Amino acid sequence: MATTNAIQASGLGHLSDATRKRLQRKARIDVWFERTLFAFAFAVLLLLGAIIASLMFSSWPAIQRYGLDFFTENRWAANVEVFGALPAIYGTLLTSFIAIVIAVPVSFGIAIFLTEQCPGFLRQPLSTLIELLAGIPSIIYGMWGMEVLAPLLRTWFPSVFPAGTGLATAGIILAVMIIPFITAVARDVINTVPAVMRESAYGLGCTTWEVTRRVILPSVKGGLVGGVVLGLGRALGETMAVTFVIGNNLFLSTTLTGQGTSIAALIANQFSESDGTQRSALLALGLILFLITFAVLAFARYLLRNSTGRHA
């Protein structure tokens, strides 16, 4: 009835019955399509809320018992029920920071080379190889780090990496893992820059560096930030590769090359055998990792919005 009234109000009442029925059917399909899309979006929000609620509920006993000491205690010892999140939080943030510092310039350099400098016959094979690197399971990276990278670091830099494994080693492994993701996103967004913009800049006498810095990068900064955030999200939550090479030391180590742990590695190592307060503390670590990831994404969007406003 509502659809019929809408059709009449739009001035289409003079149409034949068959035409009106066809329009009514299309209108109903469109309404159901909109409701279905809304249901999908609402389901994602509902799932996100359910995850947060379950983590908060499950981790509350540990937070209630230890209070702020849970976030400031510098060791994790299940045998004496001392649970401090600081070593895992520090290891997660430090290894991810090392990975981003290494991966971002390398990824952007590879993407710019593929789009601006690479010979045509090499562009597609190199792009395919990079995409294949993104599909390698993380446990393979972990085994490579344990069997190849750690011994090399221990042999070449014995005073810096006495054990080969540690926070810096984990950061290097994470950098290798996220380079394909950031590179693929950066390459795709750089390819969206219209050729006429490049040609105009070259026509004005700009060098390749000037075209890249003043034309290409400012045009696709939103996509580049998205690629970096995607890589950072992968680094923050990586488990198996980090577990192999980080050393799994449950005491706080404030050195770059010292052995430590991360939130994901600690959960993976202990969750299956945990119960009671220990399980609650591990779930609290999961909640902290969720909040860290959310904060990083929110901060990235804030920087992007401010940057866009300044250059508008």
**CB environment 299-309: b (16+ within 10 A), e (fewer):** ebeeebeeeee
**Mean of pLDDT over the chain:** 87
Q: Which residue has the higher pLDDT, 120 or 263?
A: 263
Q: Which residue has the higher pLDDT, 94 or 303?
A: 94
Segment 41-51 mean pLDDT:
92
- Which domains are present in the chain? 2-66 (no CATH), 70-310 (1.10.3720.10)
pLDDT of 284: 94
SS3 255: coil
- Residue 201 CB contacts under 8 Å (≥ 6 apart), including other chains: 210, 211, 214, 215
pLDDT of 308: 53
pLDDT of 25: 84
Segment 191-206 mean pLDDT:
87
Q: Which residues pair with residue 75 across a beta bridge?
A: 251
* Amino acid at residue number 302: Y
pLDDT of 234: 87
Q: Are 154 and 257 a contacting pair, CB within 8 Å?
A: no
Q: Which residue has the higher pLDDT, 26 or 71?
A: 71
Segment 5-28 mean pLDDT:
67
pLDDT of 312: 42
Q: Which residues pair with residue 77 across a beta bridge?
A: 82
Residue 161's φ and ψ, nearest 5 degrees, are -120, 75
124-145: pLDDT as tens digits: 888 888 888 888 899 999 999 9
**Can you give the pTM of this predicted structure?**
0.84
Q: Is the pLDDT of residue 244 over 70?
A: yes
Q: Are 241 and 169 a contacting pair, CB within 8 Å?
A: no
Distance CA 257, CA 171 (A): 10
272-305: pLDDT as tens digits: 888 888 999 999 999 999 999 888 888 877 776 7
Residue 5 pLDDT level (bands cut at 50, 70, 90): low
Residue 177 pLDDT level (bands cut at 50, 70, 90): very high
pLDDT of 255: 83
Given the structure tokens 């890249």, which residue do they identify?
212
**CB environment 25-44: b (16+ within 10 A), e (fewer):** eeeeeeeeeeeeeeeeeeee
**CB environment 169-186: b (16+ within 10 A), e (fewer):** bbbbbbbbbbbbbbbbbb
